[in-house]
Amino acid sequence: METSIILIYGTLLLSVISIWTEIKLLKRIPLWIILLGLSFTLAVIFKRVSIVGLIYSGVFGLSIFYFYKRKNIWLFLLIISLAIPLFFHFSFTSFNNYKYLNSVSLSPHSISYSLYFNLDKTLIGLFIIGFSFKKMDISIMSLLKRIGISLLIMSIFFFVLTSVLDYSKFDPKLPSFTIVWILCNLFFICMAEEALFRGFVQKELEIFIKGKLSGIISVVIASLVFGMAHFKGGLMYIILSSIAGLFYGYVYFKTKRVESSMLLHFLFNLIHFLLFAYPALKQ
């Protein structure tokens, strides 16, 4: 791997991790912003993002910052609109994401798989969590117990369902790039998706809708949107992703912590990656 890639995405990884440290420089500037700025500076130097992408990212970040200062539905819709091109890697945003794996098959039974280090998508989660983060006193054991029970139920349900549908099957493996996959999936993919769909969409919909059923409605809507965001995988993948979103949404609803849905999402992905046909069986 090139030194430039290690520097860009290494500082990006440190930026994500540093959100939870709450460290500030000069008692004012969060460390995660400093590290994100360094990552972007390196990305511009090594041509992983253009000035256009830099400006777009700045506008997106400011929109989220002001949203948490003065919440309203119009800013909410603006942020969703700005997040879509970053989430789906639209070319006009001028990001040149690094492709770590290019159409490899993890086993003879699996369809091909590519792995990108996505600076643009990660940016969504960084800004949402970074600007909204609040330290809360929570019972770690209680949180882990809820995640563990949800993971067990979810795993049994999905792998029975996908086996019946011939979408996946038991296929244990330990690829040589597993550590890289873990870091990318947890801190880039799951962090970004859970921040957007649970920490932003679900959370804010529950506030905007109000009423006794606001929690249930927000979970369902966020899960459906999450499923549709995976349309590139086909109709079956949309349905499965929507159902998975219900589990992630339920855990978030009960804990009010994006870390809980993020961890459940990652652990479920990890079980899928290590023990079953990934990302799906060849048809």
Question: Taking the domains of the chain in order of start, what are their residue ranges?
Answer: 3-275
Min mean pLDDT across 71-75, 76-80, 116-120 is at 71-75
What pLDDT is stored for residue 265 in this prediction? Answer: 98
> Average pLDDT in the 182-207 region?
97
Q: What is the pLDDT of residues 40-64, one digit of tens each?
A: 999 999 999 999 999 999 999 999 9
pLDDT at 87 over 90: yes
Min mean pLDDT across 12-26, 78-92, 132-146, 221-235 is at 132-146
| 178 and 107 Cβ atoms separated by less than 8 Å | no
More confident residue, 266 or 134: 266
**Residue that has been written with the tokens 């799951």 in this structure:** 190
pLDDT at 175 over 90: yes
What pLDDT is stored for residue 212 in this prediction? Answer: 86
- pLDDT above 90: percentage of residues in the chain: 84
pLDDT at 181 over 90: yes
Look over the chain and give the mean of its residue pLDDT values, rounded to a whole number: 94
What pLDDT is stored for residue 143 in this prediction? Answer: 86
- Between strands 29-30 and 98-104, the pairing is unpaired
What pLDDT is stored for residue 71 in this prediction? Answer: 86
What pLDDT is stored for residue 267 in this prediction? Answer: 98
Confidence of residue 176 (pLDDT cuts 50, 70, 90): very high
Confidence of residue 133 (pLDDT cuts 50, 70, 90): confident
What pLDDT is stored for residue 80 in this prediction? Answer: 97
What pLDDT is stored for residue 82 in this prediction? Answer: 97
